[in-house]
Amino acid sequence: MVGSAGLRRRGALALCLATVLVACTSTAREKDGNEVRTDSEPLERRFATLGPLSDAHWLGVVPGTTDSRIPGPTDLRVVGFAQLRAGAVASIVGASQRGFQAEKPPRLPEELAPFMPKKARWVRSESFDRQVTGGTYPGRFYFDAATDRVCFDTINASVAAGSRT
């Protein structure tokens, strides 16, 4: 025979189990991905070193949302493209101490494929990446001088000091 303490314990365990199961299965996820954003202001606050941006196409993606069913703290991948002011890429890449090298961006979410510049010649510098991120979050910045475009791929990009949140 089970005492009242045992019943309360079993009841509490059952309630906890039910709560975990609901949390793991009830979150709605978009089936076909995320909506591409075109606002530049959130990017300018995070990537102030790049200067004014326009013609932005980007996503804020929670990595693993299509496969992960466990709730908890999440990372936010901010990835996409933006237009820099005319000549900005030549100025950034021309700084010899940064050591820019030819490098293609990683595989990007398919929603961004229409915005990838055709025939782009991407370059990247670890030194410049550290300058933009301040070493506080992972991020890579790829530049194409012919189009003055930047491709960015970051995780948990923080707002630059002195910017509004």
Spatial distance between the Cα atoms of 121 and 149, rounded to a whole number of angstroms = 10
Take residue 152 and report the two structure tokens written for it.
């960015």
Spatial distance between the Cα atoms of 134 and 82, rounded to a whole number of angstroms = 20
Q: What predicted TM-score, i.e. pTM, was given to this entire model?
A: 0.73
Query: Higher pLDDT residue, 158 or 32?
Result: 158
User: Using one digit for the tens of pLDDT, what is the confidence trace for 91-118?
Assistant: 999 876 788 999 999 889 999 999 998 8
Beta bridge partners of 79: 59, 153
pLDDT over 50 (residue 12): no
Q: Which residues contact 69 (CB under 8 A, 6 or more apart)?
A: 24, 25
Spatial distance between the Cα atoms of 4 and 118, rounded to a whole number of angstroms = 71
C-alpha distances (whole Å) from 48 to each of 11, 141, 159 are: 54, 13, 9
pLDDT over 60 (residue 79): yes
Residue 84: predicted pLDDT: 97
pLDDT over 60 (residue 162): no
